[in-house]
Structure 1
Amino acid sequence: MGDSAPDLWSHPQLIAAVTAEDWGTVLRTYRRLTGLSQTKLGERIGLVQPDVSAIERGHRRVTSVEVRQRIVTGLDIPADLVRVRAEAPAAPVAGLVLPGPGPDDDLLTRVTSVVESEHRVDAPTLDWLDRLLAEHRRAEDEIGSRPLVDLMRQQLRTVVNLYASARGPLADRVVRLAAEHAQFLAWMAQDQGQTAAALAWYDRSHEWALEAGDANMAATTLSMKAHMAWSGGRGDRAVRLAEAARWSAPGASLGVQGMAAQMAARGHALNRDGDDATRLLDEAQSLIGRAAEHPEDEPVWMYFYGETWFTLQRGMAALHLRDWRAAVDHLTVGLAALPDDYRRDKTWYRTCLAHAYAGAGEAPQALAVALEAVPDASAIGRPHSWNELHTTAAVLLRRGAPEGQQLIAALRELD
């Protein structure tokens, strides 16, 4: 569907309409999101314009299996939306145990019945989905994003299916939950180098966050887009997006504001603007300290944001500024304090430490750290950690260090 938006079928109104087999709303919403006329839409599904109009206005019901199938095929509606689904929301990945007691049979029954019928969603259902998302975020730190993507897409569909039956404050909670799921999917797409998908999910998350009045998530999505710009070597864009995260969401928590300041500092460092980078890092550290005094005010997805993480960010800024010794010192201290269950992050910062050693001319140390990171970089750290190892090898080769060829050989074994 060349004229449709990315991930069109994750839109809550479309999903709710398909689930209810409200074909008039499906056609009307689809046209609004894609800009198609009734005539063009009719060509796509094999109906003339007056029939499309009649279905949209509720003057004609879709009772024919053939017409229903034409709509499903013509609009490329995903199969998992149109088939009858009786399953409850996905459980955490194998081996994980949720904190506290799991859902009782009554709760699981309610979750399933809410998705399948007109029953209204309740607070315990949303509490359970909150816990699932939190647990999957922690799992991703350890096992990486690839095993979780399909699971999280399914979980998001469960959340948006609840939208049609939620009322009042519960409806706001459903939209907020959808925004959090979309942000997590964006992060995982970004982690796998899928830039277009990541941007589409961040935009969707930002839209839902604004709808739910969630300043923290609205600011976070802009900060994460700044992170994407930084990853692509676009320092000016990283700064602009990080600054937008601050002024566009003045009600954001201190920690979320600190993350935005740190992202702006990272953009300045990429541009080799040491003064602004240092100023903003100092400001971010002050915000972090104040946030630590009231952790209850921070959103749940900021669990990683603390002194250890910030030390690693100072190391990253020093790396961009080519202050190799400072980069080595900060990254070494941060890695030593980072828990082992942050396997993906440990891999990434270890590859950055190897780069810093190479830049400092300490080839043996660079090779030792890089080789230690190679297995995990191959298993869970691609493409970012893998690319950083190639950068380290290139720095070593430019310096004429034989360790560069040794690292290249190790990488080729797993390429």
Structure 2
Amino acid sequence: MTAPGLSIWSHPELLSALAAEDWGAVLRTYRRLSGLSQTKVGERVGLAQPDVSDIERGRRRVTSGEVRQRIVGGLGAPVHVAEPYRAPVAGLVLPGPGPDADLLARITGATEATHKADAATLDRLDRLLAEHRSAEDLIGSRPLVGLMRQQLRAVVDLFGSARGPLAGRVVRLAAEHAQFLAWMAQDQGQTAAALAWYDRSHDWALEAGDADMAATTLSMKAHMAWSGGQGDRAVRLAEAARWSAPDASPGVRGMAAQMAARGHSLNGAGDHAHRLIDEAQGLITRASEHPEDEPAWMYFYGETWFTLQRGMIAMHLRDWPDAIGHLRTGLAKLEAPYRRDRTWYGCCLAHAYAGAREAAEALTVAVPLVPDAATIGRPHSWNELHVTAAALMRRGAKEGRLLADALGQYD
């Protein structure tokens, strides 16, 4: 047996199985080296124990990129081993350093302008970005990635002809586009691409003197850490967003407080989490009284959103009744067109029911969500349903196997 951690991934037998993409051998070898059971490995990769057994015995093939990513990520493969299995977003990750190697040169004027920058053009680009943000809320990120990348190119092409205040405005608009591309990469589980875009957005925001965007990029990195189960990192990044931009708007400061609350909830620090979510809601309420003073990307916060966030915090704290109550209330108020958000929070509700040992309710909520989780909800909602199925099966509930079978039709 080898001690868990990086030393496992230095074992030639495990590396050989991964190189051959023999996922059954990967699971078997990892379990032998780590001493973990099929159930424990399943918990790490978001698969039910019978699914782990079927993969190990060759009765089930792993064809889904998301499942491959869950295996290498859940088993802690180091970056140089896991990277080939982190599929890039089409049209987003290009060869060379960073998300797009020529954009930095273009934004600093290394290429000649092909379009003329004027206030009217920038106004139209502002409106177009706002429309795309709203569209992404409804249809998800995948259809918009290529379009937004082209739109960012159009923005940076304006820099060479921009003069005076217009030049700063172009850089600020580029930062907003990069932040949106980062969010879309994050939504699709493309961590490396998202971090690269957030870094680019943060740099441009600092150059433009945009405290709101600089703080937002740090808050969104905190969100990524929370998504990856890294409570301490989420708290540190959220606190950095707060102290590094004291002049940010109340709404942006509220976002940072809310991200810190998420991190503390992951760590089981309920008092800190509840105090910060209350502080966040107070700041957002202040922001709603003067929306003209808030940046354009702060449009989505409101009472319903905070109800859902309180449900998420309760879920992390394993306060299942409180989680169920808040998530049900929030979902009832969330408009039907918001399919992605309804799918995500619905999957969390199913998880909360499973945690409360209400297996029938968990299955009733989860099964109708499977088609949307398999499409616009990958990887986050999809993984949450796998976690729910595994939780049900660990408790011996037949509903866990039924949910796993429903998921298997789309894996």
Residue in structure 2 matching 1:116, options 110, 114, 117: 114
Q: Indicate how the Cα distance of structure 1 residues 289 and 408 shifts in structure 2: closer, same or farther if over 3 A, else same.
A: same
Residue in structure 2 matching 1:9, options 102, 105, 114: 102
Q: Indicate how the Cα distance of structure 1 residues 407 and 247 shifts in structure 2: closer, same or farther if over 3 A, else same.
A: same
Distance 2:408 2:171 in 1: 45
Letter in structure 1 aligned against 2:168: D
**Is 1:172 aligned to residue 168 of structure 2?**
yes
Q: Indicate how the Cα distance of structure 1 residues 14 and 123 shifts in structure 2: closer, same or farther if over 3 A, else same.
A: closer
Deviation at 1:341, TM superposition (A): 2.4
Q: Deviations along 1:328-366, whole A, 9 cap, x unmatched?
A: 001111111112222211111010000001101111110
Distance 2:206 2:361 in 1: 47
Gaps of 5+ in 2: 1-93
Distance 1:283 1:147 in 2: 36
Q: Indicate how the Cα distance of structure 1 residues 370 and 290 shifts in structure 2: closer, same or farther if over 3 A, else same.
A: same
Q: Deviations along 1:358-393, whole A, 9 cap, x unmatched?
A: 101111110111112111111101000000000010
**Is 1:234 aligned to residue 327 of structure 2?**
no
Letter in structure 1 aligned against 2:269: D
Distance 2:160 2:210 in 1: 20
Distance 2:96 2:166 in 1: 33
Q: Deviations along 1:120-167, whole A, 9 cap, x unmatched?
A: 411110010001100011111111111100000000000000011101
Aligned-pair identity (%): 74
Partner of 1:267, secondary structure, is helix
Q: Indicate how the Cα distance of structure 1 residues 127 and 12 shifts in structure 2: closer, same or farther if over 3 A, else same.
A: farther
**Normalising to structure 1: TM-score of the pair?**
0.74
**Is 1:271 aligned to residue 267 of structure 2?**
yes
**Is 1:200 aligned to residue 187 of structure 2?**
no
Deviation at 1:10, TM superposition (A): 2.3
In structure 2, the partner of 1:288 is 284
Mapped contact 2:318–2:355 kept (Cα < 8 A): yes
Deviation at 1:7, TM superposition (A): 2.3
Deviates more, 1:386-395 or 1:335-344: 335-344
In structure 1, the partner of 2:64 is none
**Is 1:382 aligned to residue 378 of structure 2?**
yes
Instruction: Give aligned pairs, total.
Output: 318
Mapped contact 1:12–1:161 kept (Cα < 8 A): no
Larger Rg: 1
Letter in structure 2 aligned against 1:123: A
Which structure is richer in relative contact order (CA contacts within 8 A, separation 6 or more)?
2
Q: How does 1:10-409 map to 2 (within 5 A)?
A: 10-13=103-106, 16-18=109-111, 20=112, 116=114, 120-409=116-405
Deviation at 1:281, TM superposition (A): 1.2
Q: Indicate how the Cα distance of structure 1 residues 147 and 124 shifts in structure 2: closer, same or farther if over 3 A, else same.
A: same
**Normalising to structure 2: TM-score of the pair?**
0.75
Partner of 1:369, secondary structure, is helix
Deviation at 1:6, TM superposition (A): 4.1
Distance 2:175 2:107 in 1: 16
Letter in structure 1 aligned against 2:243: W
Distance 1:277 1:256 in 2: 18
Distance 2:210 2:107 in 1: 23
Gaps of 5+ in 1: 21-114
